[in-house]
Structures are given as C-alpha cells and as structure tokens.
Homo-oligomer: A and B are copies of this chain.
Amino acid sequence: MEQPLDYQEKTAGRNMVTDVPVFSENDTLKDIEDFLIDRSSQFNSLDYIYLTDKINTLVGVISIKDLLVTVDKTLKASKIMVSNLVTAQVDTDQERLVYLALSHGLKSIPVVNEEGGFMGVVPYDTILQIFNHEVQSDVFKFGGIFHRIGDEYTSIHSSAIHMIRSRLPWLIIGVIGGTLAASLIAQFEELLSSFIALASFIPVMVYMSDAAGAQTEALIIRSMALDTKLNVRKYLTREVVVATVLAAISGLFAAFMAYVTRQNLILGVIIFFALFLSIIASVTINTLAPLILRKFKYDPALATGPLATIFSDIATLAIYLAVAMTLLGN
C-alpha cells in the first residue's frame, strides 16, 4: 500500500495518517471492540472506525461514541455506520481540505484513491496546521514578503538576516518598476512643466489605483480560498458593476476636490477621466491576474504580491498623462 511520502507535497495523500482502525462492514461491534481493547495503543487517531467492503472500498464510519453507547454488540458494523461520507482524493489539494472541513464541520477527512479504496485520514490537527500555513502564506504574499512556508513557523524567532532576505527582493523589483515609471513620466516632462498642477496629483492617482487593486485582490483571493469551485462568470459580472460605480464616484469626488482646491476646471476634468479609467484598469489587472494564475495551476495568491501593483501603477500613470495630453490638446 502507498504511504504518505509517495504523494506530492501539499496533497491530501501527503498529509494523511494511515494508523487508524479499519474493519470490514460485516464485522460485529463486539469484534471491533475486542480488537480495539487489545490494540488501542497502535492507533494515532481514534475518533472514527473506518469500514470497508471486500475490495477495500470505504463504505462508512462509526464514531467511537456510537460504538460505546450501542448496547447490542452482536450487530454488524454496517447497521450503525454513517455512509455518504465527504472524502478527499489522494491528489486533492491541501487547501481544499480546509474548505471541506469548514463547510461540513468535519473533524477529520478520509482519503480514498481513484477506485474509492480507503487510503488514510487527514486528522484534525493537520487540517488546522494546513489552514495556518495557507493563511501565513497568503498574508505574506499580500504584504510582499518571500517566505518559504514550513521553514519558519513564526517570524519572531527568525534572524534579522533572514528577514532582510525575505523582504529585499520585492523592494529591489519595486525600484526597477519605479524607475520604469519615472522614465515614462520623463517623456511627458514638457507637459508637466507647462501645467505643473498635474504633478501634485500623481500621488492620489497612484494611491487610488493601488487601493482599488488591493480591495479587489483581498476579495478574489478570499473567495477562491473559501470556494475552490468559484463561479467566475457570476463573480466577474458583479465586479464589473461594482468597479464601474466605484470608479465613477471616486473620479467625481476627486475631480470635485481638485476643482475646489485649485479652481481649475480642466484639471478637474482630467482627474475625473484619468481616475475613472485607471480604477477600471487596476481592478481588471488585479482580478484577472489571480484567475489566470489559477488557470495555469499556479497559486493565485502570487498575484497579490507587488507585481500586480507595479503593473497597475504604470498603467495608471500612462492613462493619467495620456488623458492630460488629449484634453490639453498638446
């Protein structure tokens, strides 16, 4: 029989334990109880007794509680077992185990092979540890930190050198992206010189595009983590409506503020169109990036790293300067 180490990392197979009690559905409760009393120390986990048919197909479980409280021990196990089990395949992604446990309130999840044959069980504490690692991994990616999950359980004990190595890469990539952005703006320096107020509003354009992007990422990453069969069409339809409304309101408000503080109508008009378009662009980039990554079997949370932000920032600056060029008739 295959052992956990035969399976790929981050699958149900890799995380299962195999030292659990397995009996035939035709064994009597007395057979099971006698065996357990004899051998209880050999089992890692003893919440459920797993029942199989002649060809090792998992057909049901009995809780230890039900075994204890059933008075007629001559009954066959199949008489009191619970069937219709929620199971995972050996190659099920470990993130899905968390989803199954959360959505069905399960303590442990039996693992079966393609033929339904019983292979093992992912116990409670493993599911909680997987959840913790996934969360840590997602939050760190969100924050732009390179972190090899499993190397370090928490960060307080990591050395300063380790912390620098996990934080520096994205900062260096940020400098490169920022220099690209600076080179883009440099092409428009004549425009900026002739209408210097435009420069003052660069930070608000970049900030708003990043903020809308971060919201988009947080929502889609959580939605995908909670529901691995996320209805993408429904999600996108709603996101289009939401993004358009948010972009319109934010654009109008920013234009109003720009007009009030600078008493310049054309500046307000530029801010409105540029912010409207750049929020739409940012939401689009930050929605599609994780979906595309998932399509190609990469971890969608990779997109929450700073790369999508750098793309959005450059797109935002290009939109801002192009809108200004167009409206100022340069």
Contact = CB atoms under 8 A, between A and B. Distances in A.
Contacts of A204: 174-175, 177-179, 181-182
A27 to B, nearest CB: 16
A167 interface: yes
A241 B160 contact: yes
Nearest to A171: B250
Contacts of A179: 204, 254, 257-258, 261
A90 interface: no
Interface in A70-122: 71, 101-102, 105-107
Contacts of A140: 218-219, 222
A30 to B, nearest CB: 13
Contacts of A219: 140, 143, 145, 155, 163
Copies of this chain: 2
Interface in A193-213: 193, 196-197, 199-208, 210-212
Nearest to A21: B65
Interface residues of A, number: 109
Contacts of A200: 181-183, 185-186, 189
Contacts of A25: none
Nearest to A304: B143
Contact of A142 (B177, B218, B226): B218
A215 B106 CA distance: 34
Given A172-B253, A204-B178, A258-B179, A246 B136 contact: no
Interface stretch (A8-16, A228-236, A322-330): A228-236
A122 B235 CA distance: 35
Q: Which of A132, A174, A211, A317 has the most CB of B within 10 A?
A: A211
Contacts of A216: 143
Q: Which of A36, A47, A128, A131 has the most CB of B within 10 A?
A: A128
A68 interface: yes
B69 A317 contact: no
A245 B164 contact: yes
A194 to B, nearest CB: 10
Contact of A154 (B71, B197, B227): B227
A300 to B, nearest CB: 13
Contact of A167 (B138, B215, B310): B215
Contacts of A257: 175-176, 179
A1 interface: no
Nearest to A198: B199
Interface of A: 33, 36-37, 40, 46-47, 63-65, 67-69, 71, 101-102, 105-107, 124-125, 127-129, 131-132, 135-136, 138-140, 142-145, 153-156, 159-160, 163-164, 167-168, 170-172, 174-179, 181-183, 185-186, 189, 192-193, 196-197, 199-208, 210-212, 214-219, 221-223, 226-227, 230-231, 234-235, 238, 241-242, 245-246, 249-250, 253-254, 257-258, 261-262, 306, 309-310, 313, 317
13 contacts: A105-B125, A139-B221, A154-B222, A154-B223, A156-B231, A160-B238, A178-B207, A181-B204, A185-B199, A185-B203, A186-B261, A202-B203, A214-B306
